[in-house]
Structure 1
Amino acid sequence: MLLAILVGLNLRPSMAVIGPLAHRIQQDISASFSQIALLTSLPVLAMGLGCFITLRLTRYWDMSKMVAMSLLLIALADALRLQVSTNHGLLLTALTAGVGIACIQVLLPILIKQQHRHQAPLVMGWYVAAIMAGAAVSAATASWLTTQLGHWQASLAFWGLLALFAWGVWQKRWAALSQTGCTQSHPTEDQKSIEDHNSRAIPKPSRPLTKQARPWLLALFFGLGTSGYTCVLAWLPPYFVSLGFSEAQAGFTLGYLTAVEVIAGLALPTLASYRLDRRRIMLPTLIAGALGFVLLAYTPLSFTWISLTLLGIGIGGIFPLSLIVCMDHHADPKTAGAITGLAQGIGYMMAATAPWLAGIIRDQLDQWTYSWIALAILYGVMMLIALRFNPQHYARHITPPPQAA
């Protein structure tokens, strides 16, 4: 679990530090809002494409070694930012980091399910909370680090040190775990019933996942939820700067929101781990997120902290819950990992367009309101999709009935 947390901390700083420093970066490299958006969109696109490549590479390479290589790739991308001075250079480092992040995001859920079969939702909650914590700390400290280190390039490159440290710990501790075998926690009665249900009801898929409808629906669900996350990550600080906040204050708003995401990312998967039907947790989470976007659009100054809290609950809760629902669809870790990888691959490519489109809207209309309302509508669509995630029907959606085969 501690390894999952340490690795998770490295999966967002490369993107999260851009928003609080967007105006400073714009001044130095003369970039528009839509161009700055690419610094978030391109890594997310790389994360999506990288999911498909990673699934193929697992046939030939050891998964733990691939995680180690990915951490080094993130460290390298961050380090290169120390000397970058052009928009193209920043985009290259963003793409490089995105590839490393993609690989880890495919492999960690598989390794977590192997190591903690009965407590996978709980460990996934800690892992996802760590991802959000990395974003919170890096966003909140971006302006301060820039002041302390002298320029924004050093502030961006600083986070490569954390990735390098995680690589060293992973190399040492994963080898020890591999020698002692998997950590199998003891299941509760509810968890036994969940696992028994999955084992009985869900056979191995009889045809490729890409030819089945449910993985595509899971991908759509994940992509819509992640679109909200990527837009907030890219544009929340510039939005509050446009309302009169300082860079440090705007970075703190993203840091606060992400801190709420961490709490939601821990609490909601824990609650969901005791229920086979995750919809009872997912629907209130989506409602909170939709309300948060509406308040952010129309009353950002009057209800700043209420809107940020609701957004933190919605975004922070739905990200791990969507991954857990993907993993729920099959009892075999590798098959569940393939479903999750496919959903992430397609979903991240969808989400990559969201900050870019929001940036274009900002350039053309000179306001953010339409983007926040569009995201609130997307969360409403997610509520309709979530209603279809009945665990009693997972078998029929992943492997077709004999007469339909």
Structure 2
Amino acid sequence: MSRPVTGAPAATGQRAALHGSVLMLATVLLIALNLRLAITSVPPLVEQIGSDLGLNRTWTGALTTLPVLCMGVFAPVAQRMAHRWGRESAAAAALTVLVVGTALRLGGEHVPLLYLGTLLAGFGIAVGGTITPGIIKEYFPEHIALVTGGYMLAMMGGAAIASAVSVPLADAFGSWPKSLAFWAPFAALAAAVCWPVGRRANQHRRDQREPAEIRLPLPWRYATAWLVVAFMTLQSWQFYSQLAWIAPFYESHGWSATDAGLLLSVFSATQVVSGVAAPVVAHHLADRRPMLLASVLAVAIGMAGMLFAPDAAAWVWVGMLGLGLGAGFALGLVLFADYSLSPPASARLSAMVFLVSYTVASAGPTVIGTLRDTSGSFTLPFALLLVLLIPQGVAAALLRPGRTRTP
């Protein structure tokens, strides 16, 4: 089961009221809801955006790649913001930047505004996503896995909805920029809830004269941290590569664009299911390795099916991919709490993991596409994805419960 934070004084006063509270849970879920809306709302509109603005696929692809790269590059910035302002206020600031970035897309017919908005949204997503695991560890120490399940439901559910309704919204508004900017009020609501929470927590710190969190470096020297990095980097590489190429792969096998798009909805829906279920089950297990390995095995089954018998049971193969990738990411978030000594340590570990994993994974779709163009088929790139599951499984097998936790 998830271990409570040890060695920390019990919270009292205003901040104590936030521990395990409905308000704090709502704050976590609202942050989570906004962590993928600005990303997954773009791909369904990419062809229209490129046509209207005269952009080639390299530039339109950057609208998806840029936020993922931001999630890596700005992860250490999130840790510094949390140290300086407190995790809660830093999350509120990130959400505010996300509001501005998403709203700027309203002027997306002007290319600079479109990319500036994407960059700001990516920054907000990066900071919010890096900080939230530490918030969960502090305020829900006895229920880390369960709250992580709710976090995954909000994040992945929001991602699936945004992807599904982007085109209908563009049709209804008669404008794809309005469709992209539609999500700004959701981030504004989250920021409006998060700012008062941050003020309450910081007021308690001042009143109680709590010592400032020690600013420590990211845990580069810890083998445990590198195992978590390895697992999450390979998981993220798989996810973004599959997100980009599932539909084109099946279109190359004669599927219509509509049917290939439906496969992506299965991909997203199954991630919601496993992303919620895996942390709930993990809450009752001291050893995460069986579930980590099961997530890798599910992806392996899906990849092997697509590689060797793609049309035999396409919906099953894609469903297995979604189940494995959703569970793997959710369990990875639980690992941040499992292998850190405190909420600040969890934030540092997540910053290190996100810095490496998202920076590397942002290149995944491009590498897979290049290999496909070079070889003339998807056989070589998909075989590479299948082989990469071996080191991911090794990393999972080495993440035993007794490993040293990071400071």
Q: If the length of structure 2 is used for normalisation, what is the TM-score?
A: 0.83
Q: Kindly tell me: are residues 216 and 293 of structure 1, through their superposed partners in 2, closer, same or farther at Cα, counting changes over 3 Å?
A: same
Amino acid corresponding to residue 125 of structure 1 in structure 2: G
Q: Is the 8 A contact 2:29 2:150 kept in 1?
A: yes
Aligned equivalents of 1:71, 1:367: Cα separation in 2: 41
CA shift, 1:384, in A, is 1.3
Which deviations, in whole Å up to 9, do the C-alpha atoms of 1:51-89 show, x marking residues without a partner?
Answer: 111112222212212211211211221211122236654
Q: Is the 8 A contact 2:88 2:197 kept in 1?
A: no
The corresponding residue for 1:67 is 91
CA shift, 1:107, in A, is 1.2
Q: 1:262 aligns with which of 262, 266, 272?
A: 272
Q: Percent identity?
A: 29
Q: 1:20 aligns with which of 21, 40, 44?
A: 44
The corresponding residue for 2:63 is 39
Aligned equivalents of 2:113, 2:380: Cα separation in 1: 31
The corresponding residue for 2:142 is 118
Aligned equivalents of 2:179, 2:254: Cα separation in 1: 23
Q: Is the 8 A contact 2:36 2:156 kept in 1?
A: yes
The corresponding residue for 1:347 is 357
Q: Is the 8 A contact 2:227 2:398 kept in 1?
A: no
Q: Is the 8 A contact 2:86 2:198 kept in 1?
A: no
Aligned equivalents of 1:369, 1:94: Cα separation in 2: 33
Which deviations, in whole Å up to 9, do the C-alpha atoms of 1:211-256 show, x marking residues without a partner?
Answer: 2333223212211101122223334445555556666654443233
Q: Is the 8 A contact 1:75 1:164 kept in 2?
A: yes
Aligned equivalents of 1:111, 1:312: Cα separation in 2: 27
Does residue 213 of structure 1 match 2:223?
A: yes
Aligned equivalents of 2:166, 2:250: Cα separation in 1: 15
The corresponding residue for 2:164 is 140
Does residue 227 of structure 1 match 2:237?
A: yes
Aligned equivalents of 1:242, 1:93: Cα separation in 2: 33
Q: Give SS of 2:103's match.
A: helix
Q: Is the 8 A contact 1:72 1:164 kept in 2?
A: yes
Q: Is the 8 A contact 1:25 1:152 kept in 2?
A: yes
Q: Give SS of 2:85's match.
A: coil
Does residue 307 of structure 1 match 2:307?
A: no
The corresponding residue for 2:390 is 380
Q: Is the 8 A contact 1:209 1:215 kept in 2?
A: yes
CA shift, 1:298, in A, is 4.8
Aligned equivalents of 1:247, 1:82: Cα separation in 2: 28
The corresponding residue for 1:161 is 185
Aligned equivalents of 1:317, 1:87: Cα separation in 2: 37
The corresponding residue for 1:392 is 402
Q: Give SS of 1:393's match.
A: coil
Q: Which deviates more, 50-59 or 289-298?
A: 289-298
Does residue 48 of structure 1 match 2:72?
A: yes
Aligned equivalents of 2:203, 2:365: Cα separation in 1: 44
Aligned equivalents of 1:143, 1:208: Cα separation in 2: 41
Q: Is the 8 A contact 2:108 2:177 kept in 1?
A: yes
The corresponding residue for 1:188 is none
Q: Kindly tell me: are residues 135 and 238 of structure 1, through their superposed partners in 2, closer, same or farther at Cα, counting changes over 3 Å?
A: farther
Q: Which deviates more, 303-312 or 368-377?
A: 368-377
Aligned equivalents of 1:305, 1:102: Cα separation in 2: 32
Aligned equivalents of 1:169, 1:341: Cα separation in 2: 24
CA shift, 1:114, in A, is 0.8
CA shift, 1:366, in A, is 5.8
Q: If the length of structure 1 is used for normalisation, what is the TM-score?
A: 0.83
CA shift, 1:368, in A, is 4.2
Aligned equivalents of 2:91, 2:218: Cα separation in 1: 26
Amino acid corresponding to residue 339 of structure 1 in structure 2: L
Amino acid corresponding to residue 194 of structure 2 in structure 1: W
Q: Is the 8 A contact 2:227 2:399 kept in 1?
A: no
Q: Give SS of 1:387's match.
A: helix
Aligned equivalents of 2:183, 2:129: Cα separation in 1: 18
Aligned equivalents of 1:229, 1:269: Cα separation in 2: 18
Aligned equivalents of 2:320, 2:156: Cα separation in 1: 15
The corresponding residue for 2:5 is none
Which deviations, in whole Å up to 9, do the C-alpha atoms of 1:330-349 show, x marking residues without a partner?
Answer: 33222132122211221111
For structure 2, list consecutive stretches of 5 or more residues without a partner in the other structure: 1-24, 206-213
The corresponding residue for 1:192 is none
The corresponding residue for 1:11 is 35
Does residue 322 of structure 1 match 2:346?
A: no
Q: Is the 8 A contact 1:45 1:349 kept in 2?
A: yes
Q: Which deviates more, 222-231 or 253-262?
A: 253-262
Q: Kindly tell me: are residues 178 and 122 of structure 1, through their superposed partners in 2, closer, same or farther at Cα, counting changes over 3 Å?
A: farther
CA shift, 1:119, in A, is 0.5
Q: Kindly tell me: are residues 119 and 171 of structure 1, through their superposed partners in 2, closer, same or farther at Cα, counting changes over 3 Å?
A: same
Q: Which deviates more, 112-121 or 15-24?
A: 15-24
Q: Give SS of 1:211's match.
A: coil
Does residue 171 of structure 1 match 2:195?
A: yes
Q: Give SS of 1:209's match.
A: coil
